[in-house]
Structure 1
Amino acid sequence: MARFSLLRSCLLFFLVASMCFVEVSLAGGEGSLRPEQCAAACDYRCSETSHKKPCLFFCNKCCAKCLCVPSGKYGHKEECPCYNNWKTKEGKPKCP
């Protein structure tokens, strides 16, 4: 009887753990940022641009989807493939 209880507990643990994994993978995020960290990361990324308002808007939008913002104030987009590969209808980069 104890073995059945242990088996049931292990099965329940793996079921809950797999549900957490599916939830994270369905979120569309690839990076290690949490959504509340996006504002600070985008403030830094857009700090030297002359088009600050649109830069912040699109950076925050991209960060919310990808959970990643490339390091630095320009370039380094290869660090975040989701951020790098998201394009506008015209085929231009959506993320600054």
Structure 2
Amino acid sequence: MIYIAAAIAVGCAALAASYGNQAVMKKTIEAMTRQPEMKDYFRMNMFISVGLIEAVPIIAVVFGFLLILLFR
């Protein structure tokens, strides 16, 4: 059961991160088309946001491994 719980936690975190990345990139592209002169600013903020969003599944993997190690 612990393996299933860890897999569900990692899978849900990966799905949430992919949805978050999609939303950030969509809004960044929209902003770049409206204000092309600020594209460097938008791109920098997009990369920072995507990096922060990608931290969530990495943390979920760590918690999944902790679940497996502590409760087996």
TM-score range, shorter chain: 0.3 to 0.5
Using CA pairs under 8 Å that are at least 6 residues apart, name the structure with larger relative contact order, 1 or 2: 2
Q: Considering fraction of residues, name the structure with more helix.
A: 2
Larger Rg: 1
TM-score (norm 2): 0.42
